[in-house]
Amino acid sequence: AAEELGLTFERLEIVTADTGRTANEGYTAGSHSMQDSGTAIRHAAAQVRAILLGEAARQMAVPAEQLRIEAGTVLAPDGNRRSFGALAAALSLHVEAKPESPLTDPGAFRVMGRPVPRIDIPAKVTGGAAYVQDMRLPGMLHARIVRPPSPGARLTAVDSSAVEALPGVVKVVRDGDFLAVAAEQEYQAIKAMRLLAAAAQWQEDATLPDQARLPEALLALPAQDFAILDRHDAPVPAGGGTVEARYTKPYLLHGSIGPSCAVAQQDRDGLLTVWTHTQGVYPDRKAIAEMLGRPIETVRCIHVQGSGCYGHNAADDAAADAALLATALPGRPVRVQWMREQEHAWEPYGPAMVTQARATLDDTGRIADWDYGVWSNTHSMRPGPAGSLLAARHLAKPFPLPAPKPLPQPEGGGDRNAIPLYTLTSARVVHHFLPDMPLRISALRSLGAQMNVFSIESFMDELALAAGADPVEFRLKHLDDPRGRDVVTAAAEAFGWDKGRPAAPGHGRGFAFARYKNLAAYCAVAVEVAVERETGAVRVPRIVAAVDTGQVVNPDGVRNQIEGAMLQSMSWTLYESVGFDRGRITSVDWSTYPILRFDAVPDSVEVHIIDRPGAPFLGCGETGQGPAGAALGNGIADAIGHRLRDLPLTAAKVKAAIGV
């Protein structure tokens, strides 16, 4: 917008998602923001610029091509000028947006392609009001929810009299299995919640699978099979041997640093306003209105940033909690904040997955045949129907959980990135979709791409080893996409791949590549890995990425996305796994669900950006997840001489593989 309108950033305000003010763009998901919304904003700004220039030309009787824009003013050659404000006042901008106005030539860019500091950082690092968790409204009540102790538990009885007598308690709300308390102060609400939880009686059943045999449990579930690739362009020659492997991934948390939160208020006119860090205000409004049985126009959802997400965490559930309580307490704002143990136990997880790969090499070391299968639940149970909201399923008249569906190709869900970008003359890829969901799951950053890229890129290294080939050269041998080749080459050169393996004992190197969804940004990652033989602990001294996102708007933004993706993927790969027994989730804090710590961050993190001025934007928010984890897995295998295929690659597993 700044580029196309010729304005400084200080004169621009971006209104984030608000059902009362902004268009319905569905969800912020799938790395579509720059590709879709960014492109739309650029075209809209160019259209507004053309409209303003046309009006200025009319008013000043000067051909539009002779006019220029400077700091919100249209200037004519004779010094005559008109401000944007004066021009806008003389016409209507309420016209249909069309991507037909000429865009600024990349050679004339003033701001696009240059680093721009984020204006939200100061408040976030100094404890200012930055997130929905920080919101405070006059007269606001604080509320806490008493969650069931386990999935499927039913509330059989609760005596709330002692809780209602506590200082500051305003109301205890029960509707079926939904149990909550609101108080004047946050600590009063927490204290009341603890007492209310102790008074609640629940009926529990053992409904969860055996975690020790989770892959077998997934493979035993009924599956709907979809052959998403079935290509046989030539007979499969014999000669180079066949390689097979199975890879597994556990359930993963979003693990938001700030537990989910929302604020809601029902005013005297019956309008319910919900401030939420949902990734889709319009779908969330629809689900909340259905849950409450009220007209959709009486609900307004306003997006406020949350402290961590990337996917469908419990933000929508907290919004539903707040909406229920604000309806029960009209007139006053109600703030709902989940507790840490609730966030870990009740948020929708990233699904567990199993993949199996089989490939045959010809006598030249090329892949002659490729067979790949992925077993996974759906990767999106986002709001739309009320039954996607946790509270709605706990009401006395519960809403049913919507039937899970596979997300269609070419983007896919569990099968996202299951089709390799490599050139394969004979290949078959099957998505074994599992409708039955043993645990509550939904969208987590990159959906199935993280696991599929981890599997494919691990398998590419295994095939390179079988072929006696260098891993980077083996990839280039099978990669015809010129932009993909550029990214692979750039990462390898920046890392110094041609220098060979690290000489230090216990050190190795790993490489991986993917194009997210085979539609968005390209990314290649190279890592140096150091393994402590006695403990199995893995350290990453250096990680290097190359990325192609098309036209770069803000290189700092791209760098932030890739750096964050690599660190998050390191955490998933080395540490993270949801724990559970047959009845309850057991990983309810950071001790039982460890994540990457500051002291494990690589000493050196490099991101090399390939800018392509004038090319379409390519979303990069999730492109680093798969390559980073796969490169790390390949680096560990290189360091210890053994391949680990079951995530996470914990120190205990590494030590066992070494045989110490």
The pLDDT value recorded for residue 103 is 94
Lowest mean pLDDT among 2-16, 312-326, 408-422, 470-484: 2-16
Q: How confident is the model at residue 232 (pLDDT cuts 50, 70, 90)?
A: confident
Q: How much is the average pLDDT of 500-513?
A: 93
The pLDDT mean for the chain works out to 96
DSSP string, 523-572: EEEEEEEEE-TTT--EEEEEEEEEEE-SS-S-HHHHHHHHHHHHHHHHHH
611 closest CA partner among 242, 114, 202, 241: 114
pLDDT tens for 11-43 read 898 898 999 999 998 888 888 889 889 999 999
391 closest CA partner among 316, 327, 295: 316
The pLDDT value recorded for residue 263 is 99
CA dihedral 561, 562, 566, 572 (to 10 degrees): 40
Per the CB < 8 A criterion, the answer to whether 446 and 625 are in contact is yes
CA 274/CA 264 separation, integer angstroms:
4
Q: Which CATH class is domain 439-658?
A: alpha beta
336 closest CA partner among 500, 146, 601: 146
Q: Which residue has the higher pLDDT, 308 or 370?
A: 370
pLDDT tens for 461-480 read 999 999 999 999 999 999 99
Q: Which residue has the higher pLDDT, 447 or 116?
A: 447
Q: How confident is the model at residue 233 (pLDDT cuts 50, 70, 90)?
A: confident
Q: How much is the average pLDDT of 393-420?
A: 97
Q: How far is CA 217 from the centre of its chain?
A: 26
The pLDDT value recorded for residue 158 is 98
pLDDT tens for 201-217 read 999 999 999 999 999 99
Token couple for 156: 């059989």
Q: Which CATH class is domain 133-204+254-346?
A: alpha beta
Question: Long-range CB contacts (< 8 A, 24+ apart) of 89-92?
Answer: 90/55, 90/59, 91/51, 91/55
Task: Decide if pLDDT at 236 tops 90.
Answer: no
pTM here? 0.95
- Give start and end residues of each alpha helix (H) in 275-377: 281-292, 315-328, 340-346
pLDDT tens for 579-635 read 999 999 999 999 999 999 999 999 999 999 999 999 999 999 999 999 999 999 999
CA 454/CA 647 separation, integer angstroms:
10
3-state secondary structure of 10: helix
- H-run or E-run covering 639: helix 625-640
The pLDDT value recorded for residue 562 is 98
The pLDDT value recorded for residue 386 is 97
Across the beta sheet with 538-548, what order do the strands follow?
507-515, 522-531, 538-548, 604-610
Task: Decide if pLDDT at 128 tops 90.
Answer: no
Q: Where along the chain do the CATH 3.30.365.10 domains lie? A: 2-108, 133-204+254-346, 439-658
Domain 2-108 sits in CATH 3.30.365.10: yes
The pLDDT value recorded for residue 436 is 96
34 closest CA partner among 609, 634, 573, 554: 554
Q: How confident is the model at residue 46 (pLDDT cuts 50, 70, 90)?
A: very high
The pLDDT value recorded for residue 474 is 99
pLDDT tens for 174-231 read 999 999 999 999 999 999 999 999 999 999 999 999 999 999 999 999 999 999 999 9
Q: How much is the average pLDDT of 420-432?
A: 97
Per the CB < 8 A criterion, the answer to whether 470 and 433 are in contact is no
